[in-house]
Chain A
């Protein structure tokens, strides 16, 4: 056995050697097909025509394809195509045949250059944007037509703090493994806390991934109007088909489908067919699924089937980071004390924070001097002492009845129906807690009930808040709305 082995080894080595030669030759021909072949044509052409002509007609040309006898040359525009095919066809073909005798035919295709924005152009553009910051723009133009996403929202400019780190982590997990990590991902929280930003950032990240997942962002108003239009024009099937190829479906403000029976029905089917195929679904709402009124049970249970996370109000430190980040995006600077002032006084939500910052920046731009703290205080009056900071009887009644989808007058009905009693008790509770109304005063407001009834309601809710997380959430959301206008 041992005596044979050197022979075997040797034979094997020779084989490898031969293969290597064949492969090397193949490799040469392959690369010749593309770049080198074209380069030799260019080298030849350079000798036969003037420099200006060469630069004009051969710029951005290349061999895009080679099939046996035919070479396809891509050219940047129709003029180049006409010129090359009419003037230089023969000489180009001849040059190529000298290298590869098999080529018999050339074909030209127009391949418009990728839209390039010259660096020289982007400079004045920035300038204009700076001056016209007050001029409002059509925001929707930035939106990607394919995905409906706004590229402005990314994870890079998403500020993470204790109030949203869980949501952020869940979003990251979804990006890494769309369809499998948390499906559906349900994000809820008050207005202006970054739900849309987070969802769009997830969408943008997945869409930008080389795996080429198909992402679609649909605000729920749009979903409703699409479904209504599809029903009216009898094109429901086409609408469903348009959702079928989507890998990641993002629905914003899903609470708006409350009470829209037909929309819920169609959405339920769309949801199921995507979910079955392990397609990622991301939803946002201003409250958790079980607090959305008039939501079909089967939809609710599906919304709750994945991961439910909330975003809260940012704390002071995070607010400061957000302000600094916004400034950096705009490439501007403001004194630290002003930022601290804004961060400590504007607490409602991130949108408000941005508004406050903008009003200081506008002053800065118009007067082109840095505002002092006193000036800033004056400018920010409307944000800090906004009428929303204080609430009133009317507002509480309005928000509570809206939250539970009741008409305001039903809160005052003389009835013990459960769906009215609870909201009524919550309204009484809030009037006491937030406005410090006296119990008899509240009793009078509710049609002359006995004040002990009010005391009972107040205590009951107070007790339940401690025991029942769901109720706590509800009351928090109601409070957020009472104060966020």
Chain B
């Protein structure tokens, strides 16, 4: 294998694939990445046996072939090189990297020992605008909590039906759900649970990318494919195993009847919650009172060691006056994921689930459980 490539291009490629490379004691080959010179592309592959990332870089190929080298090490080396054209050549199992002034040789491994990235039947797939998908997944992804005793709710739930993708995540205290509308309906209903870690890798890769994302799925795996701008060849593929299990029927927890419905200015609400959070005690409690007579939202928090805080803001309200306490972090998380300036804040009952959603946008919903008030 022998290629010529711009340092910047190689660097950005390595940055992507090295994300899944960790320290693997039982199988050291996983600390490496596989570089293959194809017809007109250099491809980079890495895996942790749960997720695999494959990336193609358009470059000048002099001789085809492949080599397996330590990913983190190569990354550090390339970073230190000046920004210019570099030549990469396989010398047996080893790899030589040359720029105008520097010559190095890195010990590699036998490419035959590198895991084979599983292929699967690609009949089932859908296409979605990457920007919209990225934004939608971003509104949901951080709600899942990895340290769950129940693996099926530690992942991100994807559900495809007709022309709607539904993405949901929960940590059993709150739940976020996002709908994305597709141009083309899917052939049949399908759902899967993607573990949170590969979902995060996916987010990192999709950020600031344009084009149409293709999602392929089967019973055990899902593959996300991003196209290359210049050609119709794929630019990146993220393959992940899926979580085996059934996602709980979360529709049941979304309340349908509310004691109180309010519309709140988002930024003001967020600022006041943040202020109140400074005074919240061990349990992070802030109390929110919706006052139907005064048409006000009041926030109250206190801590015997620090002091107390009270603030209020005008709101639109229908229904009864009600007081509910929350962990302030959960409210901030919800508000942060809401685009737009006004938020609907619906309270089902004392100690019952509450809903935050943007005004005028039915595609996003954040359900949060209160805490038992201490004050």
A residues near B (Cβ < 8 Å) are: 52-53, 55-56, 77-79, 81-83, 86-87, 110, 112-113, 115, 117, 121-122, 124-125, 128, 132, 134-141, 143, 145, 358, 362, 366
If A52-B28, A138-B170, A362-B372 touch, whether A145 touches B248 (CB-CB below 8 Å) is yes
**In the complex, A135→B245 CA distance in Å?**
26
For residue B118, CB closer than 8 A to chain A, the reply is yes
Residues on the B chain within 8 Å of A143, using CB? 248-249, 252
**In the complex, A86→B28 CA distance in Å?**
20
Q: Do A141 and B147 touch across chains, with their CB atoms under 8 A apart?
A: no
Q: Do A138 and B173 touch across chains, with their CB atoms under 8 A apart?
A: yes
Q: Which of B15-23, B148-156, B177-185, B271-279 contacts A (4 or more CB under 8 A)?
A: B148-156
Among residues of B, the one whose C-beta sits closest to the C-beta of A117 is: B149
For chain B, give the interface size range. Answer: 35 or more
If A136-B369, A138-B173, A145-B248 touch, whether A366 touches B220 (CB-CB below 8 Å) is no
Give the 10 A-B CB pairs with smallest separation, nearest first: A78-B118, A112-B244, A82-B116, A136-B369, A134-B372, A138-B253, A115-B151, A56-B27, A82-B118, A134-B371
Residues on the A chain within 8 Å of B250, using CB? 138, 140-141
Q: Interface on chain B toward A: helix, strand, loop, or mixed SS?
A: loop
Q: Do B153 and A135 touch across chains, with their CB atoms under 8 A apart?
A: no
How many Å from the CB of B304 to the closest CB on chain A? 10
Q: Interface on chain A toward B: helix, strand, loop, or mixed SS?
A: helix
If A134-B374, A136-B372 touch, whether A117 touches B248 (CB-CB below 8 Å) is no
**In the complex, A56→B371 CA distance in Å?**
45
Q: Do B172 and A77 touch across chains, with their CB atoms under 8 A apart?
A: no
Q: Do A140 and B26 touch across chains, with their CB atoms under 8 A apart?
A: no
Residues on the A chain within 8 Å of B369, using CB? 135-138
How many Å from the CB of A281 to the closest CB on chain B? 23
For residue B351, CB closer than 8 A to chain A, the reply is yes
Q: Do A82 and B117 touch across chains, with their CB atoms under 8 A apart?
A: yes
Q: Do A79 and B170 touch across chains, with their CB atoms under 8 A apart?
A: no
Among residues of B, the one whose C-beta sits closest to the C-beta of A112 is: B244
Q: Which of B147, B170, B285, B353 contacts A121 (CB 8 A)?
A: B147
How many Å from the CB of A359 to the closest CB on chain B? 8
Q: Which of B117, B152, B371 contacts A115 (CB 8 A)?
A: B152
For residue B175, CB closer than 8 A to chain A, the reply is yes
For residue B207, CB closer than 8 A to chain A, the reply is no
Q: Which of A86, A141, A358 contacts B172 (CB 8 A)?
A: A141
Q: Mark B358-369, 1 if CB is under 8 A from A, else 0.
A: 000000000101
**In the complex, A227→B349 CA distance in Å?**
26
Q: Do A138 and B353 touch across chains, with their CB atoms under 8 A apart?
A: yes
Q: Do A79 and B253 touch across chains, with their CB atoms under 8 A apart?
A: no
Q: Do B221 and A117 touch across chains, with their CB atoms under 8 A apart?
A: no
Q: Do A56 and B26 touch across chains, with their CB atoms under 8 A apart?
A: yes
Q: Do B153 and A121 touch across chains, with their CB atoms under 8 A apart?
A: no
For residue B136, CB closer than 8 A to chain A, the reply is no
Q: Do B220 and A112 touch across chains, with their CB atoms under 8 A apart?
A: yes
If A115-B244, A145-B249 touch, whether A79 touches B152 (CB-CB below 8 Å) is no
